[in-house]
A and B are shown apart, each in its own frame.
Chain A
């Protein structure tokens, strides 16, 4: 703290704003490095003073074992970082405008900061809050129809100062996941709010001629209704979404292909890029759906983004995370906060204590077989 104050006091002495900005950026970089080394307990001490030592410790901390035990949002955030990094490597090596990888990086940093600041636990556990937010996001999406359509571009673009974001990418993934009722939630009295939010979103997507998103919405709702057969409303919503997808496809036009935005995997392959780079891109695309591998409650998230990835291959949608586009990065990372919580599965009466003691990820994976194998 003393050193931070010392650095801050020097800013007043800089002769120009540019010099002060350069000095402050150097101090900020130092503060981030110190914070990172403080977060990694094993990197304290003499070894951490060298860059090689710090990097070795960092790689040690990022072993697969740690990723296995990470929560779904953390795992998803790590996957997003790796995917954006891979996309940046491709852009740099394939000659994209220099600013584009940086813009993706800034979007990722903003998204991660937002994810860190959001009250994730409350979002996961508070069913009423989730329903209200679903309704709010649905209303916002409908309101975005009032924005002027950009010529040659699909969807509506929202200008936030120097940044332009696509409302659909930002809102639909989070809305869809927020509309999922957490397992174990018993109070269904306000479920109509989230259903209404989904309906509003469907209307907005239909008005904006987004059949791809309607199709994805329908598929996710269909999968959800298949898991919960007694939730008839979701089956109905799924049918409506698929119907709206069919109808809106009549007004839909294939977007003009843009390099480093659409069909990025195909571009990596066809540009004669090295096999390693193409493999890296494919691995990064697969990484987007990794959270479901470890966490059952992230299945809908992965299903949705797997659908986005699939539709991006023929160019119906831009390639998320790997291609240029901050909206997709924000949409992916922010939707991680909308995952239903894993701890909400109601423990069975036979083993309430065992269920409470076991870690959430293991509890949800091994509940059935353990119960059967345990001697009575």
Chain B
């Protein structure tokens, strides 16, 4: 039996991106950019979420000729139900993400509050 731990801030950021995408498939690079986390943090999360059955992954052919197929992800029904049960934690993560997107940094870009170390 797999024990489900309380998700970390990075995991919540990834889940939020996937939840906002709804039925659409999202790719790794897009998720990393939108969740503002590094690839070395993203993929272990994706691996774990897929192993827990909260995420499904498929290979999609790239529309650009000559490019390799890409791995695409979206939440499963179980994942959505699990996410819906989080309630306040999810809302806090959404608020953090919103604040990070609206607060300009000195360089003029969005500041990061969920960046992994």
Tell me the A residues contacting B by CB distance below 8 Å: 2-3, 5-10, 12-14, 22-27, 29-30, 33, 46, 49
Contacts of B71 in A (CB 8 A): 2-3, 5-6, 9-10
Q: Smallest distance from the beta carbon of B1 to chain A beta carbons, Å? A: 11
Find out whether the CB atom of A13 lies under 8 angstroms from the CB atom of B44: no
Leading 3 A-B pairs by shortest Cβ distance = A6-B71, A26-B39, A26-B40
CB-nearest residue of chain A relative to B32? Answer: A23
B67 on the A face (CB < 8 A): yes
A sample of 6 cross-chain residue pairs with beta-carbon separation below 8 angstroms, ordered by A number, consists of A3-B46, A3-B71, A6-B70, A8-B68, A12-B68, A26-B39
Total chain B interface residues with beta-carbon distance under 8 A: 24
Do A7 and B28 form a contact, CB below 8 Å, given A12-B67, A12-B68?
yes
B89: interface (CB < 8 Å): no
Question: Out of B30, B39, B64, which one reaches A27, CB within 8 Å?
Answer: B39
Which of A10, A27, A30 contacts B27 (CB under 8 A)? A10
A7 to B73, CA, bound (A): 13
Q: Answer yes or no: B38 CB below 8 A from chain A CBs.
A: yes
Given A8-B68, A9-B71, A12-B68, do A27 and B40 touch, yes or no (CB 8 Å)?
yes
| A30 and B29 contacting across the interface, CB-CB below 8 Å | no
With A3-B47, A8-B68 as known contacts, state yes or no: A13 contacts B40, CB within 8 Å: no
Q: Are B43 and A3 in contact (CB under 8 A)?
A: yes
- Asked if A14 and B29 sit within 8 Å, CB to CB, the answer is yes
List of B residues within 8 angstroms of A12 by Cβ: 62, 64, 67-68
Which chain A residue has the least Cβ–Cβ distance from B3? A46
> Total A-B residue pairs with C-beta atoms closer than 8 Å?
60
Among B32, B42, B43, B67, the residue within 8 A (CB) of A9 is B67
Min distance, Cβ B42 to any Cβ of chain A, angstroms: 8
| B43:A23 contact, CB within 8 angstroms | no
| Interface membership of B52, Cβ < 8 A | no
Report B-chain residues with C-beta under 8 Å of the C-beta of A22.
38-39
Q: Tell me, rounded to whole Å, the shortest Cβ–Cβ distance linking B83 to chain A.
A: 21
Name the distance in Å between A65's Cβ and chain B's nearest Cβ. Answer: 31
Contact, CB under 8 Å: A6 / B28: yes
Partner of A10, one of B3, B38, B40, B70: B70
Check if B69 is an interface residue, CB within 8 A of chain A: yes
- B70 and A30 within 8 A (CB): no
The prevalent SS among residues of B at the interface is helix
Question: With A3-B47, A5-B68 in contact, do A10 and B29 touch (Cβ < 8 Å)?
Answer: yes
B41 interfacial by beta-carbon distance below 8 Å: yes
Q: CB-CB < 8 A to B41: which residues of A?
A: 26
- Near A by CB (< 8 A), chain B positions 39-69 give 39-44, 46-48, 57, 62, 64, 67-69
Per the bound structure, the CA–CA distance linking A27 and B41 in Å amounts to: 9
Given A6-B70, A9-B67, A26 and B27 touching (CB < 8 A)? no
A25–B40 Cα distance when bound, in Å, is 8
> Considering the chains assembled together, what is the distance between the CA atoms of A3 and B32 in angstroms?
15
Q: How far is the CB of A91 from chain B (nearest CB, A)?
A: 23
Q: How many Å from the CB of A54 to the closest CB on chain B? A: 12
Tell me the nearest residue of chain B to A27, going by C-beta: B39
Nearest chain A residue, comparing its CB with the CB of B48: A49
Measured CA separation A3–B39 after assembly (Å): 12
**Bound complex: CA A194 to CA B45 (Å):** 56
**A3-B47, A10-B29, A23-B32 known; A30 and B68 CB under 8 Å?**
no
What separation, in Å, do the CA atoms of A25 and B30 have in the docked complex?
Answer: 17
A13 CB, nearest partner CB in chain B, Å: 5
Given the known inter-chain contacts A7-B28, A13-B29, A14-B29, please indicate yes or no for A23 contacting B39, CB distance below 8 A: yes
Determine the distance from Cα of A8 to Cα of B41 in the docked complex, in whole angstroms: 15
CB pair A30–B43 under 8 Å, yes or no, is yes
Residues in chain A near residue B64, CB distance under 8 A: 12
Which residues of A lie under 8 Å from residue B69 when comparing CB positions?
Answer: 9
Given contacts A13-B29, A30-B44, contact A7 B39 (CB under 8 A): yes
Measured in the bound complex, the distance between the Cα atoms of B44 and A142 in whole Å is 52
- Cβ-defined contact, B38 with A9, below 8 A: no
Chain A minimum-CB-distance residue to B47: A3
**Do residues A26 and B38 form an inter-chain contact, with CB atoms below 8 A?**
yes
Chain B residues contacting A23 (CB-CB under 8 Å) are 29, 32, 39
Chain A nearest Cβ from B107, distance in angstroms: 14
Complex CA distance for A9 and B27, rounded to whole angstroms? 10
